[in-house]
Structure 1
Amino acid sequence: MKITNQNLPYKKMIYDGDPGHDDIMAILLALGTPEIELLGITTVAGNATLEMTTRNALMVTELVGSDVPVAAGCAGPLVRPLYTAPMVHGASGLEGAELFEPNRKPLTMHAVDFLIDTFLQSEGDITLVAAGPLTNVALAMRREPRIIPKIKQLVIMGGGRFGNITPAAEFNIWSDAEAAKIVFESSVPKIMCGIDLTYQAVATPEMMARIQAIGSKTSKFVHDFMQFYCAQSKSRTGRNGAPVNDACCVAYLIDPEVFTAHMRRVDIETKGEFTYGMTCIDVFRMNSGAPLLEPNVLVGETLNFDKFWDMMISAIASFR
C-alpha cells in the first residue's frame, strides 16, 4: 500500500548521492511515495567509485520499473584524493543483494550540467536532496551561480555533533570538505540531517522482519542488501541494526514533522589537523564573531522512529 495523505503538497526533487545501501533506501522512499516527483538522480563517488554508484542507481530504478534519468557526476573530490567506504558498503557499494548489470544507461550529460540546466529551467519549486559528498552541488553553484536562488531548499545528509570517519567528522562532509564549505556558505535554505539524527533511523530486527514480510521481489532485494549492511554495522559498532541515514532527507521532504529541528549556525572546518571536515554547530550561540554570525542551517535533532519506518515500509510495499 502506498502512502496517501491528501494534506501533503506535490513535491519535486532531485536526488544527488553516492548510492550505497542507505541511498537506495532513500531512492525507493522517493519513488514509492506518490507525493514526490523524482526528476532525476545525479551520482557522485563516495560510498564507492562513480562507476559503482551510477550502476547502483541504474540497477534499482530498473528493478522497480522507473525511467527517472540518472546522470553520472564527479569521480572524486575537488582537491583531495578519493576515499571510498568498502568497510561499510562492500566494493560494489551494495553488497548483499543479488546484483545485476542494468540495461538502463546514464544520460550522456554530466550531473553538474543536469543540475544547472534543470534548476535554471525551473520555477524555483525543486528541492535538492544531497546525500553524498557535495562535489557535484558545489561545482554546479560555482559554475552557474544563477541556480542558487532557483533551489527551493537543500536537504543535506551529512555532518553532526560527532564523527563516524574521524572523531570530529562525518563521512560525506569529510570526503570533500572544500565542496561542503561552498555549499554551506551559499544562500540556499538548508536542512541538515546529521548523524546524531540519522543514527536514530535504525533498521532494527523488527523493521527487517516487516520488510521481509512484504514478500515481493523488491522487498527481497532490500532485505538481502540490508542484512549485509546491518551485519557490517554490528561488526564495526556493536549496534543491532544499521541506520538508513540518507532516507531521513526524503522523509523530511514528505513530512517535515518526521523530526524536530532548530536553526543553528553551522560552519565547515577545512584546515584543522584533527577536525578537517567537522560541521561546527553553534548550539548555544557561542560564536564570538563580530558581528555575531546568524544561524544558517535548520539542523535535525529528534526522529519520530515509528512515523519514519511507516513511510519506509509503505514505499517498499508499493513495488512488485
Structure 2
Amino acid sequence: MALPIIIDCDPGIDDAIALLSAFVSPELNILGICAVCGNQPLERTVRNALQITELGGRSDIPVYAGCYRPMFRAPIHGQFHGQNGLGKTELPPPVKEVESLHAVNFLIESCESAIARQEKITLCSLGPLTNLATALSMKPSIAGGIERLVLMGGAYREAGNRSMTSEFNMLADPHAAHVVFSSQIPTVVLSLDATHQAILTPEHVARFIAVSGRISQPLGELMAFWDRNDVRRYGSRGGPLHDPLVIAYLLAPALFTTEKARVFVEHESELCMGQTVADWYGKSGQEPNVEIVTHVNAEKVFALFYGLLARYAENS
C-alpha cells in the first residue's frame, strides 16, 4: 500500500525537484500539496506549485494555499531561486486552480479524518513550518493523526546558510519551528548537515538532462540555476540537494544514518535567531525529540533520483 503523505512546501527550485521526484513514486500517495510563504511570497509559491503539478502530469493532486506570512516576524524570502522562485525557467500559466480550502484547515481535516479511520499520515515539510505550527496551535490533537514528520531544515554541526547560525526554513519562521519541535510528533530532520553531503554538480545535471525525457529542458534549467559556484563552501561546483532528500528518505531510509537528540530553536535572540541547537549528549536533561540525519549515501541517493526522473522519459 502506498504511503499517504502531505507535502508542505514553498517552491523554490529544490522544492520543484522534490515534487517532480515524488510525482513518479508509486510508493507515495500524495493527498495534497500545501504552499506557504517562504522562498517566495505566498501568491508565487502557490502559482509555482500549480505549474509544477502540471509539468509533472499530476493535476490530480490538490494544491492548497496556506499562511501568507510567518507567525510573528516579517517575511524573508530565498536568495537563490531567482525572481519567480524557479530561476530562469518559464513554465506555462497554470490551468489548474488552487483549492478553496485553506492549507491549515486541510491539514487539520486530513489528520482528524485519519484519526477517525485509525490511520496516520506522514507529513513532508520542505519550507518554513508556519502551516503546521498554526494547525497545531488551533488543534493540538491532530498530532495523533501524524505518523511522523520528515522535514528539511536546521543546521547543527554545519554553519547556517541564511545567517551565521541559521538555515533559511528555520530563520523564516523560528516561532513556528519552536511550536513544531515542542510537539510530540515523531520527527526526522534533514538539516544542512545532511544536504551538504549531496551536492548537485554540473556532471549530475548533465546526466539528469540525458535521462529525464519530456521534462529534460525545464529540469535542466532549474538545476543549472541552482549552481552556487561556491567551491570554498561545498568543495565543488553545484548546490546542495536540500528538499529532494526528504523524498529520498521516504523511499530509501537505509541510505541515511540518523542520531537522536533533543532540539531547541532560538526564537528570542536576534544574533542567533532561528538557530537549531541539538542536545547530543543529554545536557538538558530532556529526552530526545527528533532523529537528525548525520550521514547520507550520496552516490546511491543520486542513483535513486536518476531512476525516478528517468520515468518521465518512459512515460513520454
Instruction: Report the TM-score, using the length of structure 1 for normalisation.
Output: 0.92
Q: How does 1:253-292 map to 2 (within 5 A)?
A: 253-287=250-284, 292=285
Question: Using a 3 Å threshold, how does the CA distance of structure 1 residues 18 and 216 change in structure 2: closer, same or farther?
Answer: same
Question: Using a 3 Å threshold, how does the CA distance of structure 1 residues 233 and 58 change in structure 2: closer, same or farther?
Answer: farther
Across the aligned residues of Structure 1 and Structure 2, the Cα RMSD in angstroms comes to 1.6
Aligned-residue offset at 1:206? 2.2
User: Which of 283, 292, 296 does residue 303 from structure 1 map onto?
Assistant: 296
Whole-Å Cα distance in 2 between the matches of residues 298 and 124 of structure 1?
A: 22
User: Which of 185, 194, 198 does residue 197 from structure 1 map onto?
Assistant: 194
Q: Determine helix, strand or coil for the equivalent of 2:226.
A: helix
Q: Which amino acid aligns with 1:102?
A: P
Whole-Å Cα distance in 2 between the matches of residues 38 and 234 of structure 1?
A: 35
Q: How does 1:108-187 map to 2 (within 5 A)?
A: 108-122=100-114, 123-161=118-156, 162-187=159-184
Aligned-residue offset at 1:98? 2.7
* 8 Å contact kept, 2:212–2:309: no
Q: How does 1:56-71 map to 2 (within 5 A)?
A: 56-66=48-58, 67-71=60-64
Aligned-residue offset at 1:215? 5.4
**CA distances 1:31-74 after superposition (whole Å, capped 9, x unpaired):** 11111111110000111111111111111111121111100101
Q: Verify: 1:250 aligned to 2:273, yes or no.
A: no
Q: Match for residue 219 of structure 2?
A: 222
- How many residues in Structure 1 have an aligned counterpart in Structure 2? 306
Q: Verify: 1:312 aligned to 2:309, yes or no.
A: no
Structure 2, unpaired ranges of 5+ = none
Whole-Å Cα distance in 1 between the matches of residues 279 and 109 of structure 2?
A: 35
Q: Verify: 1:22 aligned to 2:14, yes or no.
A: yes
Question: Using a 3 Å threshold, how does the CA distance of structure 1 residues 126 and 53 change in structure 2: closer, same or farther?
Answer: same
Aligned-residue offset at 1:233? 5.1
Structure 1, unpaired ranges of 5+ = 1-8
Q: Which amino acid aligns with 1:255?
A: A
Aligned-residue offset at 1:156? 1.2
Instruction: Report the TM-score, using the length of structure 2 for normalisation.
Output: 0.93
Question: Using a 3 Å threshold, how does the CA distance of structure 1 residues 202 and 14 change in structure 2: closer, same or farther?
Answer: same
* 8 Å contact kept, 1:96–1:226: no
Q: Verify: 1:34 aligned to 2:31, yes or no.
A: no
Whole-Å Cα distance in 1 between the matches of residues 213 and 278 of structure 2?
A: 42
